[in-house]
């Protein structure tokens, strides 16, 4: 029972500063000692430097392009160089942790960092399935994205859907792109772009929207999602959970970059990870997209950070009784 907390204070996968402060705020909230109390021996793993990346991003924004680059063939990907560099650093840190047999808890940062975390976990557990908790599917390709924000694209990179597109940024070619569409299931979806809907459908990807949560209840949805990623073994097998806090309703987690109403209640959101912990099959966790700067009251900051920490604690075995 050894884990490492990997800070991934990166905000270049989207346009709002502040999400890089997520890891620091969660650690300041006492996350590490709370995980120790659960019986884990913990270590902190540094990756990219928060201040260094903020400086780079600010420079990039002052430059004439504003970080937005339209590449060959009308392909869009903002700040691709920086996203490539940062996600590869995250990949190396998480690789070191998983290869040492430790459980990686990665704190974002925006969701582009999952290109690094999931790739590293798949190296160690090639049969792992991914549960992606999110209001969004983050499966836009560099062709389908409207925003050009790469935090809306990590899943397409993990599946290798961009590498053959002319104009695919060199900086992102390090991503192995070996996640099978059969090995991911989404929970909490409610804001999917038209291009993403088509990809989900064409590739037959398991996706449980808020409609399914309302229809079947969260327990049945988690069960179905686990069976979808491990069909041969009735849901048993290694699971990585990449948790975007905007999966939970902004009533509970307001300080996030792309809030969408009508989401999981805080209890439903915690149930998902409580249930995953109970299976004993969870091998890695990301908690991403907490942005304390987007709060309009102090209480929004503490609600968001305490909920983000609760997600991590529940995933690592904290129970109500």
Instruction: Enumerate residues 6+ apart whose C-beta is below 8 A from 201.
Output: none
Contacts of 20 (CB under 8 A, 6+ apart): 9, 10, 11, 50, 53, 54, 109
Question: Considering 138, 196, 249, 286, which one is annotated as catalytic?
Answer: 138
We find the least distance from the C-beta atom of residue 288 to Mn ion, in angstroms, to be 7
When binding is defined by CB under 6 A, the residue of 43, 60, 81, 193 that contacts ligand ARG is 193
Q: Is 317 helix (H, G, I), strand (E, B) or coil?
A: coil
Single residue of 85, 143, 244, 274 touching Mn ion by CB under 5 A: 244
> Among residues 87 and 258, whose Cβ is nearest to ligand ARG?
258
Q: What is the largest CA-CA distance in the chain?
A: 56
- Could you give the residue ranges of the DSSP H alpha helices within 230-297? 266-279
Per CB under 5 A, 138 contacts Mn ion: yes
| CA atoms of 171 and 114, how far apart (whole Å) | 16
Does the protein bind Mn ion through residue 313 (CB under 5 A)?
A: no
Nearer to ligand ARG, 87 or 145 (CB): 145
Tell me the C-alpha distance between 232 and 101, whole Å: 25
Binding at 294: pick from ligand ARG, Mn ion, none (beta carbon under 5-8 Å per type): none
Q: Which helix (H) or strand (E) holds 2?
A: strand 2-8
Report DSSP state, residue 224.
H
Segment contacting ligand ARG (CB under 6 A): 47-55, 61-69, 94-102, 136-144? 136-144
Q: Say whether 191 is catalytic.
A: no
> Hey, what long-range contacts does 24-29 have (CB within 8 A, 24 or more apart)?
24/50, 25/290, 25/292, 25/301, 25/305, 26/107, 26/287, 26/290, 26/305, 26/308, 26/309, 26/312, 27/107, 29/305, 29/306, 29/309
Give the one entry of Mn ion, ligand ARG, none that residue 149 binds, where binding means its C-beta sits below a cut-off of 5 to 8 angstroms depending on kind.
Answer: ligand ARG
CB of 243 to Mn ion, least distance (A): 9
User: Which x/- pattern over 221-250 shows residues binding ligand ARG (rule: CB under 6 A)?
Assistant: -----------------------x-x----
- The option from Mn ion, ligand ARG, none interacting with 45 (CB < 5 to 8 A, set by class) reads none
The minimum distance between CB 99 and ligand ARG, in angstroms, equals 27
SS3 163: coil
CB of 69 to ligand ARG, least distance (A): 16
Least separation in angstroms between residue 259's CB and ligand ARG is: 9
Residue 286: active-site member: no
Active site residue 298: no
Shortest distance, CB of residue 186 to Mn ion, whole angstroms? 10
How many chain residues bind ligand ARG (CB under 6 A)?
Answer: 15
Active-site residue (options: 151, 212, 268, 274): 151
Which tokens is 291 given? 């942005």
- d(CA 291, CA 10) in angstroms, rounded, equals 11
Name the residues that contact Mn ion, by CB under 5 A.
Answer: 111, 134-136, 138, 244, 246
Known catalytic residues? 111, 134, 136, 138, 151, 244, 246, 289
């Amino acid at each position: 029972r050894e884990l490492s907390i990997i800070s991934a204070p990166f905000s270049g996968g989207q346009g709002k500063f502040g999400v890089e402060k997520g890891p620091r705020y969660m650690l300041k909230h006492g996350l590490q000692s709370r995980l120790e109390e659960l019986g884990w021996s913990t270590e902190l793993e540094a990756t990219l430097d928060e201040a260094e990346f903020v400086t780079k991003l600010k420079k990039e924004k002052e430059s004439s392009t504003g970080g937005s680059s339209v590449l060959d063939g009308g392909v869009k990907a903002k700040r691709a160089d920086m996203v490539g560099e940062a996600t590869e650093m995250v990949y190396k840190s998480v690789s070191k942790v998983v290869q040492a047999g430790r459980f990686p808890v990665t704190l974002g940062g925006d969701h582009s960092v999952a290109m690094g975390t999931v790739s590293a976990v798949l190296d160690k557990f090639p049969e792992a399935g991914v549960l992606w908790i999110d209001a969004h599917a983050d499966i836009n390709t560099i062709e389908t994205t409207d925003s050009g924000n790469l935090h809306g694209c990590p899943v397409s990179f993990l599946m290798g859907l961009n590498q053959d597109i002319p104009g695919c940024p060199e900086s992102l070619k390090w991503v192995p792109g070996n996640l099978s569409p059969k090995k991911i299931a989404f929970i909490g979806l409610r804001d999917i772009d038209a291009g993403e809907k088509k990809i989900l459908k064409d590739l037959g990807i398991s996706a449980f929207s808020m409609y399914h949560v309302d229809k079947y209840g969260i327990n049945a949805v988690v069960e179905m999602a686990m069976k979808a990623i491990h069909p041969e073994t009735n849901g048993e097998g290694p699971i990585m959970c990449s948790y975007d806090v905007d999966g939970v309703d902004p009533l509970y987690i307001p300080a996030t970059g792309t809030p969408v109403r009508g989401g999981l209640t805080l209890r439903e959101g915690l149930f998902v990870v409580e249930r995953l912990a109970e299976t004993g099959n969870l091998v890695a966790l990301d908690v991403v997209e907490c942005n304390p700067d987007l709060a309009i009251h102090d209480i929004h900051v503490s609600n968001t950070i305490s909920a983000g920490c609760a997600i991590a604690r529940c995933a690592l075995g904290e129970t109500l009784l």
